[in-house]
Amino acid sequence: MSITGVLPYFRERLNGLGHSEWADALNFDNIPETIIDRAYHLDFGPLVGNSRNQNVSDLSPGVTVRLFVKGYRNTNEARDRLISFAQEAICDIIDPRNATIGPAVKNVVFTSMNIIPIDGSNDNTMYAEMNFSARTFLVFTT
């Protein structure tokens, strides 16, 4: 078990729902307009230590998922579509049947979401910024 499996878990869940990752690790402002609809971006951190004993460290890394939709001319429809996609993603990511099957992630908790326009002058493309806490364990071998 390790924290290196946390982002692959989120990728698997989001790709399975038909979204495509924008794989720039640090910058999500540079997604081309031609592929921004249903694109997502992952951020990792902060990493919080919960407890530790001689063999195991209990960790909870934060994961931010940004899910983008293009609104074209109707921002209300885009927002409603984004909320629907976000709800589907949240339900899939935190579903205990998904979050406990792999060796890396033992539990995922949804913590917050905001809907944000891509910038002030372009309010017809928006994203949902969803925050999660993923629980994992580091096992020390001797």
- Per domain, the residue ranges of the chain are 3-139
**Residues 88-121: pLDDT tens digits?**
999 999 998 886 666 678 889 999 999 998 876 6
pLDDT of residue 122: 61
Decide: 42 and 64 in contact? Cβ < 8 Å. yes
Copy the structure tokens of residue 47. Answer: 């990493």
Strand partners for 125: 70
Strand partners for 51: 58
Distance CA 116, CA 125 (A): 9
12-21: Cβ within 8 A, 24+ apart: 13/89, 13/92, 13/93, 13/98, 14/40, 14/65, 14/67, 14/89, 14/93, 16/92, 17/85, 17/88, 17/89, 17/92, 19/67, 19/85, 19/89
Options 3.40.640.10, 3.30.2000.10, 3.20.20.70, 3.50.50.60; CATH of 3-139? 3.30.2000.10
Each of the 142 residues of the chain gets a pLDDT tens digit; together they read 578 889 999 999 999 999 999 988 888 888 888 889 999 999 998 887 776 666 777 888 999 999 999 877 788 888 999 999 999 999 999 998 886 666 678 889 999 999 998 876 666 789 999 999 988 877 777 6
pLDDT of residue 56: 76
